[in-house]
Structure 1
Amino acid sequence: MSASTPNTAADRDPAEIHVMVGAIADHEGRILIARRPEGVHQGGLWEFPGGKLETGESPIAGLARELDEELGIRVEHSRPLIRVRHHYGDRRVLLDVHRVERYAGTPEGREGQPLDWVHPEAMDPDDFPAADRPIITALRLPPLMLITGADPEHTGQFLRRLERALEGGVRLVQLRAHALGAADYRALAEQAFVCCERHGARLLLNRAPEEVVGVPRHGLHLGSSLLARLSARPGAPGELVGAACHDAAELDRIATLGLDYALLSPVKTTATHPGAPALGWSRFAAIAASANVPVYALGGMTRDDLDTAWDLGAQGIAAIRGLWPGD
């Protein structure tokens, strides 16, 4: 259970409907979805299984009860994925989403609801309620984001390190090379894109959008200073676009602009920014709990921090030193 998740229904805003949701995965990475019946709110759309938390019930107990009642399965292992608040006009909902990775039984629509198993990349957000769309984004994003490290001017060494990181399972790469001029950054990005494509990974360019027009990429990463100047979401349709943030106001701006993810930092003191005060895990959890977008923990992170980040509701971790291979 996430430390940022209320313990019981009594702790929550009574005007908000708290819904426990299961993102149930199979061994192929597909996710179970169910169709809402016609004639109800959001009827006819697909959704992720779950239902309202009862008074006095813990979130974990509520998730287990709902998935047993709806699908006839017993949850054996789950972890927080994302929490989404949405106002439909006539009602406010909090979707408390857990990724269910191990369960007993065979799911069946006990309430007559049609079921389907779908890969996240194949989900059409228009087929789901608006509140469910950040869940699709979270399911599509990997748990690790590599922020590239030292020596981008030494192209061969840099690309060899990138190759090793990709071989080690990294599937999301932020190309951070602020010291390079525009032409050198473009050349490096073109080669990094080829590496990422070969491994099925996505490349995010950490550069102002106007500086990378026509540069091959899968998305953009925006610094907090650029985020403050934006009036609309940049980038092409279908690209991943996210930004760095340090507090709740910046995180809210990321959600308002409709960006896909946030990097919240620094969780711990780092060698890159030794003077920046660390949030610590408890403050990170409190800020991330208000997000309607997937949030990566950044600042002193290593793979050993991943379980902690998940427990506190993070999408995963982002790191330079913790994920960038050495010589």
Structure 2
Amino acid sequence: MKKRLSLSLIVLLTFVLAMTGCGSKNPAQTETGGTTTGGTTAGAEKPGSKLNIGMVTDVGGVNDNSFNQSAWEALQKLNKETGVNVKYLQSKNDSEFVPNLNQLVKNNYNLTWGIGFIIGDSLKTVAQQNPEAKLAIIDNVVEAPNVVSVTFAEHEGSYLTGVVAGLMTKSNKIGFVGGMDIPVIKRFEAGFVAGVKAVNPNAKVTINYTGAFDKPDLGKAAASTIYNDGADIVFHAAGATGDGVFNEAKDRVKNGKKVWVIGVDKDQSLTFGDDVTLTSMMKRVDTAVYNISNDLINGKFEGGKTIVLGLKDNGVGLPETSKKNVPEDVLKKVDEYKDKIVKGDIQVPDK
């Protein structure tokens, strides 16, 4: 009897194991911390599953609601589509740029991104020390045969936000809050001011640089000063510091004061809401990171190349959601100025 029972248990166990094996699936894509690993689908290996692409953020961090976040979202999208393994390393200060870049390069990542102008010198150092490594950078130009550099005509897109602000201000007082006083942010400022003046020469634009991309409290204080002076629209180009600009605007709206913020890099109405976001100057960091990383997967990486994306490339511009708060006649004016810029009839200043 005991022998027959043991045999029955063995048969039952064998059946259960067989059924478990038949029902097993390939590993799903998982994310742990700053790493997303690629799996397989229906037993077929995806084209990027054996490749690794990493990025190093600037001090704004990966959740800056701005360009670092756009870059990471692009890599996550690429992971889902191609199976490429992606990872980010967050930099708390400038001294971490080189170690973070080296960590990815030394671990044989197939492509290493540096996100942000201020990473430029560090990325150049790492590129020169590791000539076989492939690297890319956003918002700066690193002249090296193993680096792809991507910059944007921020001044062109900012000109259009200036047109919106100049036509919609009721007080003729407008503000600009910048992060660090560096060339890329000066392009935002120059284009914005030129756009305002083109449609409203009587408007006053107050400029305030906080000196940081990761200090929302400084952004809030800067916006408070500008709004207190009578401004009803503030454009920020300050990364996570700009979160504070939105926070200040929301506080004022709750107290019955109608003010607006013009967001940057992403469609920030999706994060901060339509009640305070007039429009945003979108910079398609996500498209650039996605396309160049995908080129690497397809064996088309072109080191030594510099790419500049402007209005004609749809690299900058306003989001579709602008029509929620910007009147149709103003958007028509925006389109008129866009056409003139693309055709070369208007040369937008970049500093």
Higher alpha-carbon Rg: 2
TM-score over 0.5 (shorter chain) = no
Q: Normalising by structure 2, what TM-score?
A: 0.24
TM score, norm. by length of structure 1:
0.26
Higher strand proportion: 1
